[in-house]
C-alpha cells in the first residue's frame, strides 16, 4: 500500500469511527456495539456540527497527495469524496431532518436491532433498550427544535406511526419479563412508561403543527437532477424517464406473450387469477442484513403477515422464489456481506442503485441460469418488472412536480395491478425518498449495461465470476465505479 493509500485509509477510518460514535442507532445496525445504550442527538446544533466535520474531512482529503495513490487508491479516493459530498448534500440541500416529523419511527428504529439481533445476552441488550427509552424525552425536545418545516402529508403519516410505537415497547418489555433480572425488568417498565408518555406528547404536538404544515413535498427538477449527480448516476432524469417508459412498453408486451403461452386465448388478468389460486405460505418479505462489524453473519428475514387472510390473494406461490432471491440469497444478504470486505473508504457510502440493482439483477440471472424457470415464474417476474418500470416513471415525474399524488396512485393501480390502499402506501414512501424508487430497475439496467460494456471490451477474456465478485465486494457504491474496479481486478 502506497503512502497516500495509507493516509486515505487512516482518514476514512477516523471519519467512519466519528460518524458511528455520533450516530448510535446506525452503529448498532452496522454491528458496532460501543454505543448501544445511547440515543442519537437530534438537535439543530448537532446537525450544524456534522456539516462542519464533513467539510473538515474534505479539507483533510485535499492534503493527501493524489499522485501518490495506487490505481485502486485513486478510485477509493473518489468514492470517499463522493460519500462525503453526498452526506453534505443530504444535510444541506435535502434537509429531511427539517421536514419529516416522524419521531415515532425514530424511537421504533432505535429499538429494533437491539431487540431482533442476538449479538449479546438478552440482559445486556435489554439494559441498552432501557437506557435508550430513558433518553426519549431529551431526544423529543431536540427533535421539536430541528423540525422547522414539517410537511403536511408526512405529519399525517407521523401521527399514524407514533400511535403504534407504545405497543412495540410493551411487547418488548413483555417478552423480556422472564428473561432478565427483576431489577432490570422494573427499570424497563419505568423507562417504557416514560417513553410512552413522551410519545403521547408527540402525538399532541403533531396534531398541533398539522394545520400550519406545508403542503409541498416536491423537491423540483433542479434538485432532483442534483440528487442523481451526487449519486454519480451517469444519466439525466429525462434519460432515466425514457428508460422507464421503454421498459414498461416492452414488459407489458412480454406479459401478454407469456399469458398466451400459459393459457391460450386468456388475458393477462385471467392468467394472473389462475396463478393466484396457488397461494403462498407467506406474503411479502424483507431482509435486515447483518451489520458489517457483526462477528456472526445472521440476517433477519422478516415476513409481513396480513391481518386478513384474504390479503393473501395479492400474493401467489410462483413469486416466492424471486422474493427469496432478491431479499436473501444471492441478493441483499450476499451483497451486504460483501460490504464488510470492502476497503474503509467505501463503507460509509450507501448507494441504492447498486444495492437494489444487484438484488433485482439476481432475479434475472438466476432464472436465466435455469433456477425455477417456469412460465408461471417468468410471468410473476415480468409483473414485478412492470411495477419497477412504473416506479421509475412515477419517481421522476413525482419528484420533478409533473405528477400529482393521486395520479401516481392511479398509475400503480392501472399498471402494476395494486389495490388503492397498497398504492397509496407506496406513493407515500416515494414522496419521502426522491430518487430511491427508480433505483431497482435502473440499477439492474446499469449493471447489465456495465456487463455488456466489459464483455465487449474483454471479449473471450471476460470473467463473469470476477464481474460478480467485483460487484459484491465493492461496497454499496455507485455502479459507475464498477468498470474501473473490474479492470484493476482483471490485472491481478
Give mean pLDDT, residues 119-135: 97
Q: Using pLDDT thresholds of 50, 70 and 90, give the confidence band for residue 2.
A: confident
- 393 or 337, which is more confident: 393
Give mean pLDDT, residues 407-431: 95
71 neighbors 473 (Cβ within 8 angstroms):
no
pLDDT of 306 over the 70 cut:
no
- Whole-prediction pTM value? 0.91
Residue 139, pLDDT score:
98
CA dihedral over 428, 429, 432, 437, signed as positive or negative: negative
Whole-number Cα distances in Å, 146 to 5, 42, 48, 98, 160: 38, 7, 11, 6, 20
Report pLDDT digits (tens) over 32-59.
999 999 999 999 999 999 999 999 999 9
Report pLDDT digits (tens) over 83-116.
999 999 999 999 999 999 999 999 999 999 999 8
Report pLDDT digits (tens) over 356-391.
999 999 998 998 888 888 888 888 889 999 999 999
Give mean pLDDT, residues 403-416: 96
Give mean pLDDT, residues 202-225: 97
Q: How far apart are CA 298 and CA 331, in angstroms?
A: 14
Give mean pLDDT, residues 274-288: 65
For Cα atoms 183, 188, 190, give the angle at the middle one, nearest 5 degrees: 95
Residue 79, pLDDT score:
97
Residue 210, pLDDT score:
98
Residue 285, pLDDT score:
62
pLDDT of 485 over the 90 cut:
yes
**Directed axis angle between helix 122-134 and helix 103-116, to 10°?**
170
Give mean pLDDT, residues 439-452: 97
Give mean pLDDT, residues 463-469: 96
DSSP calls for 83-135 = HHHHHHHIIIII-HHHH---HHHHHHHHHHHHHH--SS-HHHHHHHHHHHHHT
Residues contacting 364, CB < 8 A, separation 6+: 381, 444, 448
Please enumerate, as own/partner, the contacts of 229-235 that have beta carbons within 8 Å and a separation of 24 or more: 230/82, 230/85, 230/86, 230/89, 231/86, 231/351, 231/353, 231/435, 231/478, 232/82, 232/351, 232/478, 232/480, 232/481, 233/353, 233/442, 233/446, 233/478, 233/480, 234/446, 234/480, 235/442
84 neighbors 57 (Cβ within 8 angstroms):
yes
Pick from 121-125, 138-142, 269-273: least confident: 269-273
Element (H, E) at 287: strand 285-288
- Read off the C-alpha cell for 128: 441498552
424 neighbors 409 (Cβ within 8 angstroms):
yes
Give me the half-sphere count of Cα atoms (radius 13 Å) on the Cβ side of residue 146: 23
3 state SS of 478: coil
327 neighbors 301 (Cβ within 8 angstroms):
yes
Residue 92, pLDDT score:
96
Q: Using pLDDT thresholds of 50, 70 and 90, give the confidence band for residue 271.
A: confident
Residue 229, pLDDT score:
96
Mean of per-residue pLDDT scores for the chain: 92
Percent of the chain exceeding pLDDT 70 equals 95
Report pLDDT digits (tens) over 58-90.
999 999 999 999 999 999 999 999 999 999 999
Residues contacting 49, CB < 8 A, separation 6+: none
pLDDT of 297 over the 90 cut:
no
Q: In 3D, which of 375, 434, 437 has the Cα closest to residue 412?
A: 437
Residue 154, pLDDT score:
98
Instruction: Tell me, rounded to whole angstroms, the distance of Cα 429 from its chain centroid.
Output: 11
Give mean pLDDT, residues 225-251: 97
Q: Using pLDDT thresholds of 50, 70 and 90, give the confidence band for residue 328.
A: confident
3 state SS of 303: strand
Name the CA dihedral angle for 183, 40, 22, 105, rounded to a multiple of 10 degrees: 120
Pick from 203-212, 321-330, 402-411: least confident: 321-330
Residue 474, pLDDT score:
94
Pick from 131-140, 285-294, 323-332: least confident: 285-294
Residue 281, pLDDT score:
52
Residues contacting 451, CB < 8 A, separation 6+: 464, 467
Residue 221, pLDDT score:
96
Amino acid at each position: 500500500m502506497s503512502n497516500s493509500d495509507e493516509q486515505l485509509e487512516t482518514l476514512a477510518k477516523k471519519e467512519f469511527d466519528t460518524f458511528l460514535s455520533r450516530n448510535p442507532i446506525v452503529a448498532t445496525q452496522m454491528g458496532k456495539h460501543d454505543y448501544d445504550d445511547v440515543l442519537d442527538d437530534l438537535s439543530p446544533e448537532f446537525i450544524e456540527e456534522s456539516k462542519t466535520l464533513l467539510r473538515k474531512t474534505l479539507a483533510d482529503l485535499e492534503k493527501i497527495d493524489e499522485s501518490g495513490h495506487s490505481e485502486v487508491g485513486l478510485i477509493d479516493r473518489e468514492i470517499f469524496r463522493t460519500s462525503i459530498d453526498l452526506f453534505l448534500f443530504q444535510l444541506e440541500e435535502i434537509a429531511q431532518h427539517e421536514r419529516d416529523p416522524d419521531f415515532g419511527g425514530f424511537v421504533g428504529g432505535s429499538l429494533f436491532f437491539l431487540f431482533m439481533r442476538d449479538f449479546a445476552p438478552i440482559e445486556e441488550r435489554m439494559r441498552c433498550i432501557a437506557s435508550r427509552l430513558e433518553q426519549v424525552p431529551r431526544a423529543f425536545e431536540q427533535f421539536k427544535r430541528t423540525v422547522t418545516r414539517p410537511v403536511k402529508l408526512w405529519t399525517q403519516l407521523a401521527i399514524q406511526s407514533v400511535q403504534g410505537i407504545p405497543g412495540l415497547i410493551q411487547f418488548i418489555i413483555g417478552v423480556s419479563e422472564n428473561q432478565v433480572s427483576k431489577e432490570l425488568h422494573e427499570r424497563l417498565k419505568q423507562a417504557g412508561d416514560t417513553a410512552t408518555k413522551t410519545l403521547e406528547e408527540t402525538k399532541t404536538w403533531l396534531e398541533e403543527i398539522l394545520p400550519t404544515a406545508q403542503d409541498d413535498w416536491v423537491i423540483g427538477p433542479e434538485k432532483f437532477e442534483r440528487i442523481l449527480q451526487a449519486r454519480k448516476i451517469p444519466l439525466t432524469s429525462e434519460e432515466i424517464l425514457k428508460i422507464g417508459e421503454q421498459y414498461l412498453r416492452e414488459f407489458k408486451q412480454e406479459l401478454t406473450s407469456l399469458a398466451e403461452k400459459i393459457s391460450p386465448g386468456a388475458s393477462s388478468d385471467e392468467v394472473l387469477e389462475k396463478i393466484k389460486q396457488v397461494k403462498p405460505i407467506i406474503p411479502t418479505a424483507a431482509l435486515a442484513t447483518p451489520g458489517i462489524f457483526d462477528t456472526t453473519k445472521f440476517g433477519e428475514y422478516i415476513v409481513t403477515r396480513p391481518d386478513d387472510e384474504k390479503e393473501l390473494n395479492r400474493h401467489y406461490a410462483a413469486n416466492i422464489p424471486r422474493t427469496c432471491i432478491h431479499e436473501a440469497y444471492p441478493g441483499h444478504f450476499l451483497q451486504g456481506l460483501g460490504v464488510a470486505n470492502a476497503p474503509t473508504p467505501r463503507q460509509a457510502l450507501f448507494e441504492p442503485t447498486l444495492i437494489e440493482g444487484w438484488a433485482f439483477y439476481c432475479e434475472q440471472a438466476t432464472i436465466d441460469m435455469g433456477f425455477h424457470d417456469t412460465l408461471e415464474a417468468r410471468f410473476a417476474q415480468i409483473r414485478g418488472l412492470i411495477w419497477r418500470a412504473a416506479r421509475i416513471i412515477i419517481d421522476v415525474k413525482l419528484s420533478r412536480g409533473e405528477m400529482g399524488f393521486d395520479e401516481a396512485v392511479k398509475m400503480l393501480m392501472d399498471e402494476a395491478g395494486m389495490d388503492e390502499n397498497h398504492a397509496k402506501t407506496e406513493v407515500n414512501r416515494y414522496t419521502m425518498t426522491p430518487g430511491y424508487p427508480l433505483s431497482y430497475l435502473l440499477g439492474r439496467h446499469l449493471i447489465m449495461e456495465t456487463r455488456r460494456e466489459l464483455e465487449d471490451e474483454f471479449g473471450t477474456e471476460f470473467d463473469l465470476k470476477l464481474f460478480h465478485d467485483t460487484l459484491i465486494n465493492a461496497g454499496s457504491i455507485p455502479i459507475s465505479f464498477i468498470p474501473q474496479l473490474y479492470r484493476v481486478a482483471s490485472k491481478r
